[in-house]
Chain A
Amino acid sequence: MTKELPTYPSGPRHWRSLEELAQTPEFQAALSGESSADILAQAEGLDRRDLMKFLGVSFALAGLTACTRQPAEKIVPYVRQPEEIIPGGRPLFFATAHTVSGSATGLLIESHMGRPTKAEGNPSHPASLGACDLYSQASLYELYDPDRSQTLTYLEEIRPWPSFLGAMRVAVESERAHKGAGLRILTETVSSPTLAAQIAALLSEMPEAQWVQWESATRDQTRAGALAAFGRHAEVVPRIDRAQIIVSLGADFLTSGRGHLRHARDYAAGRRALAGGEGHRLYVVESTATVTGANADHRRPLRPSEMESFVHALAAAVGGSGGSPSDPFLAAVAADLRSHRGRSVVLAGDAEPPAVHALAHHINSVLGNFGETIAVIDPIEARPADQLGELRTLLADIDAGKVSTLVILGGNPVYDAPGDLRFAERLEKIKLRVHQSLYADETSRLCHWHIPAAHYLEGWSDARAFDGTASIVQPLIAPLYDGHSAHEVLAALSQNPEKSGYELVRATWQARMGRDFESQWRQALHDGVIAGTAFEPRNIAAASASVAEGGLGQAPARRSETSGRSPDASDAIEIVFRPDAKVYDGRFANNGWLQELGHPITRLTWDNAALVSIATAQRLDLRKEDVVEISSGNGKVLAPVWIEPGLPDGSVTVHLGYGRRRAGHFGTGSGFDAAPIRSSGNLWWAAGQIRKTGDRRELSCVQLHQNMEGREIVRAATAAEFRKNPSFVHEHEKEPGAEETLYPLIPSDTYAWSLSIDLTSCIGCNA
């Protein structure tokens, strides 16, 4: 069996794994054991022919069931049929929004007789435009997940909701006596106007109480960078479709973060325009491997410690100071940026330090990109904050004995707070701990009260998209497991403990919509967006001039202008932390659909790994699936190695969100938890050591499934060749011969259907 790599008119030679490139014996073996029938043969002694025989016989026998008397069946109609429902087939669609880390994606959810079955994007929502990401798709699984927490508990014993209301009443009354000095509310990033208004009302009653937001994939550094550049909190929204030169400094804007679906749509449009000689060019400089990096025209992996000096040099080169850079990559980026003033955009990733963000804003300002390719708007968070700083303050207050009641709405800080904060052990010092969440997780176990949360498809809420557009989060089904939304739990702390989420959300918008509320409300529910709520761009580009002269203008000590050299000590390594592309910060860890999905870069399923580059693996004598011990100043973890080309040498990437201890059947125990080596000093990378243990651990990687086996399914040419010969794709096509199909050939003027993917605009979003 020969497996030739396909040849193309020109362009790159395609390969899908290092083993395939090297044509190793392991790869050949993996290929020959690929098909499920072969696997069956190995397992059961059943070969492909026998399998077909059994299939055929069972199919024929199944037909015999038609020859029997049909058993009597019942039809059970509605007593009162809900309006617009057509029983037996036609689904209804309802607009709602899915919020991850405070940023909403508008969705249309398909509903069959009251049961939500499928999420699609809402074409009228600016963050979706009809597209839908994998978290939204998989949220349907989450809704029906039998592992979701089903009962409200106090000290792990079942309690009814009114008894929680009673307990809160007592607790809040005693807090109120001290103006709420001992009360803390811990949430994830909140963009919901209703939730924010509820918390604000609570804080105005009890001015000493505090509201803390925390997420493990926090955008603190992005916020800090904007604050430094603009002198105020601001949200930077790129318009990818208007940019011809896109420079990403660690920003995975195509598949993660705020508005990524919209950015991907705009990006793809630019890629399609390439055929006509227009379009854009994407430079990516990053410390790990992302989908955006994989799409880059030019890409430079940099260790996190090198990032800041690179961006300083870039800023200098764009500004025209400091002569021409010696690094040709940097020189090319700078030259391209300088020749595309007002038509370029420089983006910094959430994991980059504030200085990189501030410098990116500065470069954009120098290039006159603000107002052209970038809009600056007010933050979409209800209260932008330094989340890590607030969490630290909370923990210090706990140590000082100032906190007597902690209400945690969503989130799982016991699992995802950095190891050095020792959140779990400090949490237990608090007298009354309440946790509301979808699953009875690590944090719930350490709290007195656990309240099952209503899924977003079960309860009313509202949220803002990346551009500020507000949507009503409309439920499609009554809570399956007696869940309560964050609004209802917060109401329990207020003077009106029994207010429903519906009343609260309506009240918020009644106040804002004013006259003719009822029709506006219905319109907003129907459209999935509330008209006119997108934030107006602020004209504050000028403020960024201060950055150039300000404190951030100083470049840190330059360790190396160009990458390539590894840190000196042989086992020293830079550990890069990133949220996982599938389970994110761990909140989706029990989602079987997401676990089963291959990681967009590594194609690993059900596991995370320590990702290293080829050169690093060679230097440390590591092979795939070797178990290594990674240690930082905080602690150490054991992790299997995965070799991934494209990573900066001398670094190891570990993804957060795995190694959950109380997630459910699927999440618990899959992968390793990176939190112990993560430090609150620097959330996104750490200097550490890596040591081979000699153990091995098998990982399941789906990369080699469905091999092309020499068939030309993927066809490629350069843009120039395409312009010369636009039909090159079809030249290698051949009709299947009559002997290759069992079906009679039905003559047809056209294809009944076909699936063709324009790989030019495909970003590999994985959804």
Chain B
Amino acid sequence: MPQIFHRSTNTISRVSIFGAVFVFAFLGWLFYVLEASPYTTQQNVAREQPVQFSHAHHAGAIGIDCRYCHTSVEKAAFAGIPPIKTCMNCHSQIWAQSPYLEPVRESFRTGRSLEWTRVNDLPDFVYFNHSIHVNKGVGCETCHGRVDKMPLVFQAARLQMGWCLECHRHPERFLRPREAVFTMGWEPPEGVDREEYGLNLAKQYGLRSKAVLESCSTCHR
């Protein structure tokens, strides 16, 4: 019976068996990279909003406190999106005729809410509570980035589980004093050891043990 395959095919088969490892490894790597890429996470992608609201202007240039608008951030899971009434507190007086703000005035006139596009969105199977983070010394900036420099807000972090765990495993690297939670661009005092400083804060604020912080059911409840 004649040989069907030429001898040279042996080499090809050896290479492809060996190569398959790389092919699968490559596919795995590709999946991982795509998965963590801004294409999937939408990190750093500025969103179109019904009104060109600039945090850089309001929070950065004017210096309005975060809590003026996000009123429930210290009390509830949801930080709160300001009612149109909050906008009109000022904009019934200033820029009261600006065409940019017509959607705001229209909403206030008609009672129909503006529909903002959500920027930081966690999957629905994750429980996240703003108030516990804010009260335990996690700064706004730590997750949301320099909002005071964002003309249009974008998602500053990956918001994936690995990213959450970076902090849940080592909160001491990120904690700041409660007074500085709403400060943008806060730096730890010079000369102190960051981790030691953070560990002190964790103790002072009564952070739960790592077993609790890393437990599945803390977030997936």
Contacts and interface: CB of A to CB of B under 8 A. Distances in A.
Interface of A: 62, 65-70, 72-81, 86-90, 746
Contact of A81 (B79, B83, B118): B83
Contact of B123 (A66, A72, A78): A66
A77 B78 contact: no
B161 A86 contact: no
Interface string B76-87: 111111111100
Contact of A76 (B39, B115, B129): B115
Contacts of B160: 66
B51 to A, nearest CB: 12
A73 to B, nearest CB: 4
A72 B111 contact: no
A81 B85 contact: yes
Contact of A80 (B47, B77, B84, B115): B84
Nearest to B50: A74
Closest 9 CB pairs of A and B: A88-B78, A89-B76, A81-B83, A78-B83, A77-B81, A73-B118, A74-B115, A89-B77, A79-B84
Contacts of A73: 117-118, 121
Interface string B114-149: 111110010101000100000000000000000000
Contact of A87 (B72, B116, B123): B72
A65 B123 contact: yes
Contacts of A77: 81-84, 113-114, 116
A87 B76 contact: yes
B78 A89 contact: yes
The A interface, classified by DSSP as helix, strand, loop or mixed, is loop
Contact of B118 (A66, A74, A78, A80): A74
A506 to B, nearest CB: 27
B170 interface: no
B169 interface: no
Contacts of B85: 78-81
Contact of B39 (A65, A69, A746): A69
A90 B112 CA distance: 24
A66 B71 CA distance: 29
A255 to B, nearest CB: 35
A687 to B, nearest CB: 60
A462 B104 CA distance: 42
A716 B117 CA distance: 60
B217 to A, nearest CB: 10
Contacts of B108: 79
A74 B83 contact: no
B218 interface: no
Given A76-B115, A77-B116, A69 B81 contact: no
15 contacts: A69-B42, A72-B47, A72-B118, A74-B117, A75-B81, A77-B84, A77-B113, A79-B85, A81-B85, A86-B72, A86-B76, A88-B77, A88-B78, A89-B72, A89-B76
Contacts of A67: 35, 40
Nearest to B209: A746
Interface in B31-87: 35, 39-40, 42, 47, 71-72, 75-85
A79 B111 contact: yes
B78 A87 contact: yes
A84 to B, nearest CB: 11
